[in-house]
Structure 1
Amino acid sequence: MGRPAVDPIPDAPAATLDLGAERALAVADYHAGIEVGLRYERGVELDSNADQRRERLLSLLDRTAADRVVVLGDLVHRIAEPGGDEAEEVRDLLDALDARGVPLTLARGNHDGGVADVFPDRIDLLPAEGVRSGDVGLVHGHTWPGAEALSASTLCMGHEHPSVRLTDEVGGSRVERAWLRGPLRREPFLEAVDEAADGLDWNDPELVVFPAFNDRSGGTWINVEGESFLAPFLPEALAGGEAYLTDGTRLGPYREI
């Protein structure tokens, strides 16, 4: 048997991807410089975790011996052009990847508008509608995927930061980052994608929503009634999704947890 298209790494918000010619380490929502953003947005003062984030990613890269790193959107936190500590964090990450001879591909997210201007020629930047690489579609998820990404048998996205709120028998609760996976429904995309309904190349893809790599970025509680999704096609396009913890625990249908 061949390699799985998406192979989650145990106990990590990351996976390896089979991109055909390459094997990639994929994460979503890195949010470099989030501490600066939280200071301005919410008045929250936190010491920077930039070094720890970088070392966690590099450790996973060493563990998997992947050929490239794929970030499924929101490499940076502030929506404006990154500068200061935020730009320094990205520069240090790129320098460390360059030293290993590993390129970085970024599926453009809603926070990544100024990345190309600050780091020209250092990042392989994908369009917001995503692309297909091998048999894997790569998008961030803040906009409708394009026909090319939807033609893959597996569509990978970030943006949601999916989390579950788990309650024990005595009423205590905790929030855990989670994977969300399930068959993608074709119908919601027929009008949104610039293709005739009978011209959309559809291979019954599985949608894989990655947990956020950044553990300070909050998330969508996918098992809380009334919680709104961020992607314009969710939850309508994922009627039968299941949730999994990063340790591999299957929680079952995400609306029934």
Structure 2
Amino acid sequence: MARVEPVPGEPAAVADCGGEQALVVADYHAGIETGLRYERGVELRSNAEARRQRLCALCDRTDPDRVVVLGDLIHRIGDPERGEDDEIEALLDALDARSTPLTLVPGNHDGGVADAYGDRLDVTDPGGVRLGDVGFVHGHTWPDRSVLGAATVCMGHEHPQVRLEDEVGGGRAEKAWLRGRLRIDPFADHFGVATESLAWGDPELVVFPAFNDRSGGTWVNVEGQSFLSPFLPDALADDAEAYLLDGTRLGAYRRV
């Protein structure tokens, strides 16, 4: 099995971390409906139960040793609100019932998570963590140098999507994976060191689609769209490819 193998049809993957296997998802955004109500005045019925059932079904399907969330476990920035808190408590209860620990690589929305739930989940450094030969980051900040020594780096934050058009001009957005080699030069420049001083694993970057269906995303193949991460797209090889959730290989993402 590849170090990071997407689960067919799902915005999730199984990562081989050496001594254990992890089910990995990104951008869960618990309580997003509460956030949208406050931020935009949009009233939506909560999908909290459906999100939890999807994740639990993936645990049943893949039997992981742990679940890793690549940031933005909650939606509203700051301390968890009531809608988020209820959803997270129910999710942690469900994972506890399966004896499946949860590791959170904190994202830009997760400021209050460690204080609120630190006794129930593992929260890593914001610069990410390396488990075996796989590194995990959210992507809103530059990765810790130790993460760059991994063979594969997984990140979220971007919520990548591709815009697909048919022969009559109709279009739709589809969630997508991005996979490609990282370039060393932007990281050496950021850390102010020579390239040879980095413990560089020549990693493949895997950018995860958002787990949450209501969180929008970056159309990576639309001209004028900007990436959110400070190291993308400069640090991503030009031949990085996009894939649909069903495994369809679209080719180089810039030419989709």
Normalised to the residue count of structure 1, the TM-score between the two structures is 0.97
In 1, the alpha carbon distance for the partners of 2:125 and 2:110 equals 11
How many residues of Structure 1 are paired with residues of Structure 2 in the alignment? 255
- Paired letter, 2:3: A
User: Is 1:45 matched with 2:43?
Assistant: yes
Q: State the 4+ residue runs in structure 1 displaced beyond 2 angstroms.
A: 193-198
Q: Matched residue of 1:191: which SS?
A: helix
Structure 2, gaps ≥5 residues long: none
Q: Matched residue of 1:236: which SS?
A: coil
User: Is 1:253 matched with 2:252?
Assistant: yes
- Asked if the contact 1:147–1:194 (Cα under 8 Å) also holds between the matched residues in 2, the reply is no
In 2, the alpha carbon distance for the partners of 1:57 and 1:200 equals 36
Query: Alignment identity in percent?
Result: 66
User: Is 1:180 matched with 2:165?
Assistant: no
Query: Which residue in the other structure is 1:129 paired with?
Result: 127
In 2, the alpha carbon distance for the partners of 1:69 and 1:193 equals 30
- Asked if the contact 1:128–1:139 (Cα under 8 Å) also holds between the matched residues in 2, the reply is yes
Structure 1, gaps ≥5 residues long: none
Query: Which residue in the other structure is 2:89 paired with?
Result: 91
In 2, the alpha carbon distance for the partners of 1:125 and 1:140 equals 12
- Asked if the contact 1:6–1:18 (Cα under 8 Å) also holds between the matched residues in 2, the reply is yes
Displacement of 1:132 in angstroms is 1.0
Displacement of 1:80 in angstroms is 1.3
Q: Once superposed, what is the RMSD of the aligned Cα atoms? A: 0.9
In 2, the alpha carbon distance for the partners of 1:195 and 1:4 equals 31
- Asked if the contact 1:145–1:193 (Cα under 8 Å) also holds between the matched residues in 2, the reply is no
In 1, the alpha carbon distance for the partners of 2:219 and 2:143 equals 23
Deviations 1:13-58 (A, max 9, x none): 0000001111010000000000011111111110000000000000
Q: Matched residue of 1:87: which SS?
A: helix
In 2, the alpha carbon distance for the partners of 1:167 and 1:205 equals 32
- Asked if the contact 2:139–2:157 (Cα under 8 Å) also holds between the matched residues in 1, the reply is yes
Q: Matched residue of 1:56: which SS?
A: helix
In 2, the alpha carbon distance for the partners of 1:117 and 1:125 equals 10
Query: Which residue in the other structure is 2:15 paired with?
Result: 17
In 2, the alpha carbon distance for the partners of 1:231 and 1:181 equals 15
Normalised to the residue count of structure 2, the TM-score between the two structures is 0.98
Query: Which residue in the other structure is 1:55 paired with?
Result: 53
Displacement of 1:195 in angstroms is 5.3
